Structure 1
Amino acid sequence: MSSTAKRTSSSSSLSSWGNHQSKDNPLCYGDITNQRSGSPPRKLGLGFTLICKFVQPLKFHYCSKKTNQTKPLELLNPSDLGKEDDDDSSNLGEDPQLCGAFTCDIYEHNLRSSEAKKRPAIDYMERVQPNIDATMRAILIDWLVEVAEEFSLPPETLYLAVNCLDRYLSGNVITKLNLQLLGVSCIMISAKYYGRGSVRAPLRQVESFCYITDYTYSRNELLEMESCVLNYLKFELTTPTANCFLSHFVPQGKREEVPSSHLLFESLASYLCELSLLDYAMLRYAPSLVAASAVFLARYVLHPSRKPSWSSTLEHYTRYRAQHLEACVKNLLRLCHESPSGDNVVAVRKKYSKAKYKFAANMFYPSSLPVPQELFL
């Protein structure tokens, strides 16, 4: 695992956090608030050992429409479900795996109606939380991004963990002391939710999650917090996140891109969506709106001169017109140039600066967009 530079706080409200990251172990932050005993920040020396291995993805087989031969279907990435046979890419919407005949009904009457029921409060930081702020939340989620990467957890695990985190914080006061405990409990819950009965997110022992905090929290503390979160959420974990909507929108967006740019387009949209997790202000937008806006901005970055930037196909599948996306798109573009916590939040940009994501974070992002009349028609 590559070494990550120490993070320093640029906010006076975070002065107590200090350099919470170990030089030898970027993920083992210990108590990231450094408030347990009131002592100066500890310098951790425990080396992080990658305890997970890549899991062979489960492969199903379906019958090719033209050759009647079995063909493997990779289930590792949800967005791959939008891919058709190479010789029939024009009929993307006819893939039986996508349930094309029911897509609109599933999307509008299930996903869109469900997202409103399990969204966190958009003002909980001001109304409920006297001990933490948006910067601390950003640093915690940035760390969860690294944990998900090192454990090779699929994207939906991270998104559900953040959803559980925000929903719990919407109704429960948390201290700086227990903020990291809450975060690691949420990603443990999410890993269990997506891992049970599936090889995509293998189950991990509780000790694994204690280890990544350098045993700042005990096994019993972690299990107790897990119980508190689950009981507060009434065990209602099934909820559509921005990643869920993204896996629905991206295959439709690919239909209007040349095959050579499909992976870059998908990586751009994923990068923009993941950046939105860090910014507390983005909670004002519904997950479906964030996903649609990420697709819109990804299309614009790839083809700045294309007019209009939004197509009738995407409008049909997303149920959003271009003018509905304007405010969210501008905020996503702002996040491409600004960090919610300065130099403390770098994990998402590092992740998408790799070749496997086609260096999406290194793309040129304009500082501003054209006037709305030209772009949001």
Structure 2
Amino acid sequence: MMEETLFLTMNLIDRFLAVQLVIRKKLQLVGITTLLLACKYEEFNIIVPTTYVFMRQFLKASQSDKMLCLVEYAMLRFPPSILTAAAVFTAQCTLGVSREWNATCEKHNSSLECSKLLVSFHQKVAVGKLTGVHQKYSTSKYGNAARCEPASFLLEA
């Protein structure tokens, strides 16, 4: 399965749940159905610009490593292009690769607002009810990725 299929699946789930109330018991059915549709996207011509499409372009432009991420619900107010530019920039700041926007990211004015929101999520990731992913990626098996300090200086910008 292509990575883009996962992003299209999430997009279809979000769009369906925006117009149809689904009981929790049936949510898995919705998920598997949207996965099937996403796998068949070429046949049904239901391609939409997901964050993955923009992620590939911004990562290529910024000469960064390939990464995969899904969208936090609160981030849905940003278009995929802005979300992706902000995610790449925030990741570069977190890893100490950059502290300033490059020419590609400068085109998206609301990217800084989005980056600040990403940093605030990063600061809160180790606390709360859903810490399983944080614990998983805090192990050496996954390169201790979750132990990176957030780029808090972006909140002051």
TM-score by length of 2: 0.79
Partner SS, residue 369 of structure 1: helix
Q: Which has the higher helix share?
A: 2
Check 1:247–1:301 CA distance in 2 against 1; reply closer, same or farther (3 A cut). same
Deviation at 1:171, TM superposition (A): 1.3
Do structure 1's residue 328 and structure 2's residue 127 form an aligned pair? no
Deviations 1:131-163 (A, max 9, x none): xxxxxxxxxxxxxxxxxxxxxx33212111110
- Give structure 2 stretches of 5+ with no counterpart: none
Deviation at 1:354, TM superposition (A): 6.7
Do structure 1's residue 299 and structure 2's residue 92 form an aligned pair? yes
Check 1:240–1:253 CA distance in 2 against 1; reply closer, same or farther (3 A cut). same
Listed as ranges, the matches of 1:208-287 within 5 Å are 237-254=46-63, 262-263=64-65, 266-267=66-67, 270=68, 273-274=69-70, 277=71, 279-287=72-80
Amino acid at match of 1:311: N
Deviation at 1:185, TM superposition (A): 1.5
Do structure 1's residue 311 and structure 2's residue 120 form an aligned pair? no
- Say whether the 8 Å CA contact 2:89–2:105 is kept in structure 1: no
Amino acid at match of 1:155: E
Listed as ranges, the matches of 1:26-41 within 5 Å are none
Deviation at 1:335, TM superposition (A): 2.1
Structure 1 ranges of 4+ moved more than 4 A: 351-355
- Say whether the 8 Å CA contact 2:119–2:150 is kept in structure 1: yes
- Paired residues in the alignment total 156
Check 1:236–1:171 CA distance in 2 against 1; reply closer, same or farther (3 A cut). farther
Aligned match of 2:147: 362
Deviation at 1:241, TM superposition (A): 0.6
Check 1:342–1:155 CA distance in 2 against 1; reply closer, same or farther (3 A cut). farther
Check 1:320–1:239 CA distance in 2 against 1; reply closer, same or farther (3 A cut). same
Which protein has the larger Cα radius of gyration, Structure 1 or Structure 2?
1
Aligned match of 2:10: 162
Percent identity between the aligned chains?
A: 28
Check 1:332–1:370 CA distance in 2 against 1; reply closer, same or farther (3 A cut). closer
Do structure 1's residue 288 and structure 2's residue 81 form an aligned pair? yes
Partner SS, residue 310 of structure 1: coil
- Give structure 1 stretches of 5+ with no counterpart: 1-152, 197-234, 255-261, 373-377
